[in-house]
């Protein structure tokens, strides 16, 4: 079975009275966050703000971004959404969000925090807002 674009194996198979039931892992958390881009544009020290929640690898992407304000707004929204969706305690430097092709991909850097979980993220923006959406599933 495929869900969210990934192949899922049954977590549990039970049989009762000749009826087989397959239980698939589902979302354990959903998060969303929206950021007003003009508020980010008004930040005086944008790099210092970026260092608060971006990993060194993400800082590199920020420095090469064609629109650094849009990059910061969208990454902040996506990171906040991921933290909100995660079932336990998660800090911004425990994971990074990088683009692979055109899709944002969440990489957990602290395996002890994320063992057994997978995160799916989506980022969108307009001229005024950036939004991040995240779903956490069991592996």
CB 54 within 8 A of CB 62: yes
Looking at 84, 93, 99, 107, which residue is catalytic?
A: 84
Question: 94 - beta bridge partners?
Answer: none
Question: 3 - beta bridge partners?
Answer: 6
125 catalytic? Reply is yes
* Sequence-ordered alpha helix ranges (H) in the chain: 37-41, 46-53, 56-64, 68-85, 111-114
Residues 6+ apart with CB under 8 A from 40: 46, 69, 72, 73, 76, 130
107 catalytic? Reply is no
Looking at 2, 102, 125, 139, which residue is catalytic?
A: 125
CA distance 63 to 106: 19
Query: Would you give the DSSP letter of residue 101?
Result: T
Active-site residue list: 84, 125
């Amino acid at each position: 079975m495929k869900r969210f674009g990934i192949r899922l194996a049954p977590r549990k198979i039970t049989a009762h009275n000749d009826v087989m039931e397959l239980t698939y892992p589902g979302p354990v958390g959903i998060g969303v966050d929206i950021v007003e881009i003009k508020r980010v544009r008004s930040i005086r020290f944008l790099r210092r703000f970026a260092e608060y929640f971006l990993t060194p690898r993400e800082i590199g992407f920020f420095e090469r971004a064609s629109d650094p304000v849009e990059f910061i707004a969208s990454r902040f929204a996506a990171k906040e959404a991921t933290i909100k969706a995660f079932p336990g305690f998660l800090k911004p430097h425990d994971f990074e969000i990088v683009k692979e092709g055109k899709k944002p991909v969440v990489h957990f850097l602290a395996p002890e925090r994320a063992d057994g979980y997978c995160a799916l993220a989506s980022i969108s923006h307009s001229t005024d807002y950036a939004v991040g959406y995240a779903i956490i599933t069991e592996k």
